[in-house]
A and B are shown apart, each in its own frame.
Chain A
Amino acid sequence: ATHISSDRELRDFGECMQQWVEFQSRTHAMSLSLTSQLRLILTPSQSTKLSGSFRTGKRLNIKRIIPYIASSYKRDKIWMRRSVPTKRTYQIMLCVDDSKSMGEAGSGTLAMESLVMVSRSLTMLEVGQVGVMGFGADVFTAHELTDPFAADAGARVLQNFTFSQNRTDIVLLIRQTIDKFRIARQQQSNGGLWQLALIISDGLVESSTHDVIRRLLREAMEERIMMVFIVMDDQVQKGSSVLDLGSAKFQDGEVVVTKYLDTFPFPYFLIVHNLEELPSALAGLLRMWFAEVAS
């Protein structure tokens, strides 16, 4: 058995299995759409670069000609071929906000559906390992990166989420995600490893920690760990969008009201109002990120 953190109270397995199946069928078309979009982005396109040294090939490798003649035509691997693109492997961590605000705003259901949809897409893609973590006042692992996503894995993941944690400690999540990815990288011999964390939350995180978050994200970036923040903006009532949300403070005795999102510390974030938007929005964001890291 896996050691999933301490004595978390788990929801009923049968109930969660039912929920997983229901979410799965509701999001099936979206999963397929996301899979096909991600396939184009996550698997590198056919390389057109010619390289290497072969006995036969497409074009001569000029650097090999002199040694070839000097060796009395013995060292005859003088041809270049179209190189096979290096296979990229991914470790993708889905980090789901388990705090109380999620349950209150109805974002919890949207988050669960997103989790089901995205995790199924990634498993179908077979690009590497998929893990699931939950966060709030503390961080827990709902599915280890190294465990296969077996038939009952989804329901076991759902068992962990109750949306009743009394804080949303995003700093703790980022720290533990970086630590987890560091350990996971050491266990992989693959040089082409990319690590990606998708944070699914209502976006309400402790604003007093924004500077700390920025520093941690830079640290993650340097280690090729990408963190995307997906804001679930399920508007239960009109005017409740996080886009309009203001934040009031007192500065030198004066009232200052700013837009909450103006100081949101994540460079890569997207706002999703309903599930249907998620596949294209996520694919678009990842495409942008790959274009940036490739340049």
Chain B
Amino acid sequence: MLTALPVKVIFTTDEPDLALPETKQQLLVPADIKRYGLSRILNSSSMLDTSSPVPLDFLANGTFLRTTIEEHLASEGLSAETTLTLKYVRSLIPPVYEASF
């Protein structure tokens, strides 16, 4: 079976209380991941280690990521060779909807 190539992502944020240490800002993530998966990764104990999950949204080039990373790169005419910068913000989606994403 062909597994999608991991994509190298750089995480940035403007929210000081959610900032990652420098050495954790770059991460390889599965290419078929979407907003919810990315939010879970950032909340995990290896990353932000939040006491209770903080739903996050991700901006790629100023627009909210609503597809998989792979689909996003393809729509921009890019491949998994490109390092993707994602800016994360507290999600405005009410947590009650979380399960459907």
A binds B: yes
**Which residues on A are within 8 Å of B, measured CB to CB?**
99-101, 104-105, 165-168, 204, 206-208, 238-240, 244-250, 255-257, 260
Is the Cβ of A104 less than 8 Å from the Cβ of B28? no
A171–B83 Cα distance when bound, in Å, is 22
B residues bordering A, Cβ < 8 Å?
2-3, 5-6, 8, 22-30, 37, 40-41, 44, 46-47, 79-83
Residue of A nearest to B38 (CB): A248
Q: Is the CB of B82 within 8 A of A100?
A: yes
18 CB < 8 A contacts A-B:
A104-B81, A104-B82, A166-B80, A167-B80, A204-B8, A206-B3, A206-B5, A207-B6, A239-B22, A239-B23, A239-B26, A244-B23, A245-B8, A246-B46, A248-B28, A248-B41, A250-B37, A255-B40
Query: Could you say which residues of chain A place their CB within 8 Å of the CB of B5?
Result: 167, 206, 208
A256 neighbours in B (Cβ, 8 Å): 46
Partner of B47, one of A100, A166, A238, A257: A257
Q: Which of B6, B40, B83 contacts A104 (CB 8 A)?
A: B83
Q: Report A173 CB to chain B, min CB distance, Å.
A: 15
Contacting pair B27 A100 (CB below 8 A): no
The answer to whether A168 and B24 touch (CB under 8 A), given A207-B6, A257-B47, is no
Residues of A within 8 A of B8 (CB): 101, 204, 245
A107 nearest CB across to chain B (Å): 12
Q: B41, A255: Cβ atoms under 8 Å?
A: yes
B27 x A248 contact (CB < 8 A): yes
Q: How far is the CA of A101 from the CA of B8 in the complex (A)?
A: 10
CB-based contact B28/A100 at 8 Å: no
